Amino acid sequence: MTKRPLGELIAILLKSQRKTQSQIVQVLGWPHCQLNRFLNGHGDLSCSNFVSLLKELGIDIEKQLQAKLKKHTDIDDASIETTADCVQYILQDLDSVSRQTLLRTFAWASDLGSRRKMPSKVSEILKRETNSI
Amino acid sequence: MRDMELAKVDLSAGHSDLENWAGNWIWRAVHCLANSTDFNPSPKWIAQRLNITVENAVDALEGLERLKMIERNGSTFKVVTDWVKLGPSEIDRRHLLFQHSKIALQLITKLKAHDKYGCEILLGKKELISKYGSRFKALYNEMREEGVRSGGTDVIASEVSFMVLTGTEGQRGEQ
């Protein structure tokens, strides 16, 4: 079976929901040509725009991701014993920007106050995990 | 420049654009940079100027455009709304503090040893905060106007907050 381009799939979804391109761009505040180009395979959308488009069509990717992550990272209250457990509990409960902000603050404070240079692995992971701020 | 009218904005609904603007220094800095005389709408230029990723620059430009804070003007952007007042009359006070906490911490982590920073602890009545708080606002406005007059192109950030340390949480007001 031939794999359809994403734009084509979205166009089919639009039709199935009896929504017009004009309705969608009005809600999202986009120029009309932006959606049209994407649906016809002549242009791409940024990640955040694609997520917003899907949300408008009833597919909440962020919610699905959070639900999946929650299953793997939920800490049972009874198993919290150490400071590290508390930190993990707090971090998992925050929205992405808040979590990144706290991690960035930890890293900055550590850089200023620690007698040791942060291991490069730690710096790399923190840099990757805080790439939105 | 017209101010954007905000009526009880809902900042609690996930990652809304306004939440990104209120809680992410990048969106604010790109908004500020768009006023610069040497502004280049290229996300790569913006990314280099602010030491961020191109993706973050694109995200900010698109978000600011959706918020109608900037709009396309030929091959570039122009600032439509210079500032947005987000105070206790617009959103819940607790959520306002939550958004401020993110920006304040992000800005603190930008401090280098040679930057200017300070902390003051003094005696007084809490009414002093409203009185002098408005003077700080006026000072920021003066600073902003002088920056524009002098053709400055650096993006400068500052954070200020006041809190009463004495008394119980109930006496100090709802947290």
Q: Is the pLDDT of residue B108 over 80?
A: yes
Mean pLDDT within B117-122: 93
pLDDT mean across residues, chain B = 84
pLDDT of res. A1: 52
Does A64 contact B at CB distance below 8 Å?
A: no
| Residue in A101, A107, A131 nearest the CB of B102 | A101
Q: Is the pLDDT of residue B118 over 70?
A: yes
- B97: part of which helix (H) or strand (E)? helix B93-108
Does B62 contact A at CB distance below 8 Å?
A: yes
Q: Is the pLDDT of residue B158 over 90?
A: yes
- Answer for the pair B93, B45: CB distance below 8 angstroms, yes or no: no
Please give the angle made by the CA atoms of A62, A104 and B68, to the nearest 5 degrees.
55
Q: How far is the C-alpha of A53 from the C-alpha of A51, rounded, in Å?
A: 5
Q: The whole model's pTM is what? A: 0.68
Cβ distance of B55 and A108 shorter than 8 Å: no
Question: In 10 A of CB B23, how many CB atoms?
Answer: 23
Query: Can you tell me whether residue B107 is helix, strand or coil?
Result: helix
Q: How far is the C-alpha of A69 from the C-alpha of A93, rounded, in Å?
A: 11
Cβ distance of B15 and A96 shorter than 8 Å: yes
Half-sphere exposure of B104 (CA within 13 A, CB side): 11
Higher-confidence residue: A114 or B143? B143
* pLDDT digits (tens), chain A, 133 positions: 567 788 989 999 998 888 999 999 988 989 889 999 999 988 889 888 999 999 999 898 888 887 766 655 565 676 888 999 888 888 888 888 999 999 999 999 888 888 888 899 998 999 899 998 9
Q: Is the pLDDT of residue B80 over 80?
A: yes
pLDDT of res. B10: 46
- Answer for the pair B85, B64: CB distance below 8 angstroms, yes or no: no
Find residue B70's DSSP bridge partners: B79
pLDDT of res. A117: 86
pLDDT of res. B66: 87
Q: How far is CA A76 from the centre of its chain?
A: 25
Residues of chain A positioned with their CB less than 8 A from the CB of B50: none
Residues of chain A positioned with their CB less than 8 A from the CB of B100: none
- B77: part of which helix (H) or strand (E)? strand B76-79
Q: How far is the C-alpha of B169 from the C-alpha of A8, rounded, in Å?
A: 57
Chain A's closest residue to B59, CA to CA, is A48
| Residue in A46, A63, A133 nearest the CB of B106 | A133
Mean pLDDT within B100-106: 92
Q: Give whole-number Cα distances, A62 to A105, B57, B90, B122, B145, in Å.
A: 25, 21, 26, 46, 41
| Residue in A28, A46, A105 nearest the CB of B105 | A105
Residue pLDDT, tens place only, B2-50: 333 343 444 444 347 877 888 899 999 999 999 999 999 999 999 999 9
Q: Give whole-number Cα distances, B144 to B26, B70, B75, in Å.
A: 18, 19, 26
Q: Which residues of B59-92 are buried (b: 16+ CB within 10 A; e: fewer)?
A: bbbbbbbbbebbeeeeeebebbbeebebeeebbe
Mean pLDDT within B76-99: 78
